Amino acid sequence: MPLGPDALILGIETSCDETAAALVAGATNVLSSVVSSQVELHAQYGGVVPEIASRAHNQLIIPVTARAMVEAGIDERNMTAVAATTGPGLIGALLVGVSAAKALALTWGVPFVAVNHLEAHLYAAFLEEPELQFPLVVLLVSGGHTMLISMEDYGRYRLLGQTLDDAAGEAFDKVARFLGLGYPGGPAIDRVAMQGDPQAINFPRAMLNDGLDFSFSGLKTSVINHVRKNPSVSTPDVAASFQAAVVDVLVTKARRAARDVGATALALGGGVAANSLLREQFLTACTEDGIGGFLPSRSMCTDNAAMIAAAGWHRLRLDGPSPLDVGADPNMKLATIA
């Protein structure tokens, strides 16, 4: 479908515990991006409670969407399409955003566009750097996924490596929980690690010299065993040493992937891309290797709807509108080429 740079997309994201709506013109011009986090609702349980997330999305989806429209100064007459995350994610949470997006699209007489949440994370870097060149290697590190992807064009992705067990964000969350640092774990470890010594404990770097896949579950076990054997160990030292091990593996493999595919640039995406040490070491590595390094701002790394609208623009251009009977798929995969 021919789509102009002014085509206006309303993006809606409700796959986990953020209710988000954004207005993006073309694929990159963010007019508004509203994110309402449910962190406080879930914190007392130490993780996201799916039923509570669905109920909160239900209450928030209309006010959040209305605010995105008001902040952008847009009314429905200007809308080109409504895009929503249809997976992967929590089924009840996804259904709230998908139903709202379909209802709005139907009411306004514009196309509905189904968006894969993982594909949307890939586009976060483009929101701030629209001129990124292909092939671009993206390290996608979120709560549920750890993937190295070569973007060969819009909509053409090659999977270079992925985690064989825990995702990087999951490892942060589980270790933080074990250390009593609360939920969400990633930002907590990031903060506490600033007071610790990253060389205090030499935690294992699994599969460091071995291909482009990852494994983090042994590292998590190693942290737990170390603390059990050394109960008086400093928590900041454990957090800093754990974080250093994760970042070391992520950065080593990302630069190897860029070398393998001859990419001129590397980008980060997903919630763990908000991590301070990862951001610093990632940029240092890119400078050393003489390639471009692109870090979306922290608010674009974690779940947001601007990236959903951006991916929606590309999906609409490549595939046209999605049928209104398309469902939500909690286990949706990223479509990759062989």
Residues that bind Zn ion (CB under 5 A): 142, 303
Nearer to ligand KG4, 112 or 183 (CB): 183
Distance in angstroms (rounded) separating the CA atoms of residues 20 and 171: 25
Among residue numbers 163 through 222, which ones bind ligand KG4 (CB under 6 A)?
A: 169, 172-173, 184-187, 190
Task: Give yes or no for residue 274 binding ligand KG4 (CB under 6 A).
Answer: yes
Q: Is the four-CA dihedral 224, 256, 89, 121 of positive or negative sign?
A: positive
Angle at 267 between CA 133 and CA 306, to 5 degrees: 90
Q: Smallest Cα–Cα separation from 138: which of 150, 156, 130?
A: 150
Distance in angstroms (rounded) separating the CA atoms of residues 302 and 296: 10
For 204, other C-beta atoms within 10 Å of its C-beta total 14
Q: What is the largest CA-CA distance in the chain?
A: 64
The distance of closest approach from Cβ of residue 236 to ligand KG4 in the complex, given in angstroms and rounded to an integer, is: 15
Out of 95, 272, 300, 307, the only residue in the binding site for ligand KG4 (CB under 6 A) is 272
Task: Give yes or no for residue 281 binding ligand KG4 (CB under 6 A).
Answer: no
Out of 21, 216, 303, 308, the only residue in the binding site for ligand KG4 (CB under 6 A) is 303
- Written as six digits, the tokens of 171 are 């490892």
Task: Give yes or no for residue 157 binding ligand KG4 (CB under 6 A).
Answer: no
SS3 37: strand
For 54, other C-beta atoms within 10 Å of its C-beta total 17
The distance of closest approach from Cβ of residue 270 to ligand KG4 in the complex, given in angstroms and rounded to an integer, is: 4
The distance of closest approach from Cβ of residue 288 to Zn ion in the complex, given in angstroms and rounded to an integer, is: 29
Which of Zn ion, ligand KG4, none is residue 65 near (CB under 5 to 8 Å by kind)?
none
Task: Give yes or no for residue 11 binding ligand KG4 (CB under 6 A).
Answer: no
Is the distance from CB of 249 to CB of 214 less than 8 angstroms? yes
Which of ligand KG4, Zn ion, none is residue 155 near (CB under 5 to 8 Å by kind)?
none
Nearer to Zn ion, 114 or 240 (CB): 114
Residues making contact with ligand KG4 (CB under 6 A): 16, 142-144, 169, 172-173, 184-187, 190, 270-272, 274-275, 302-303
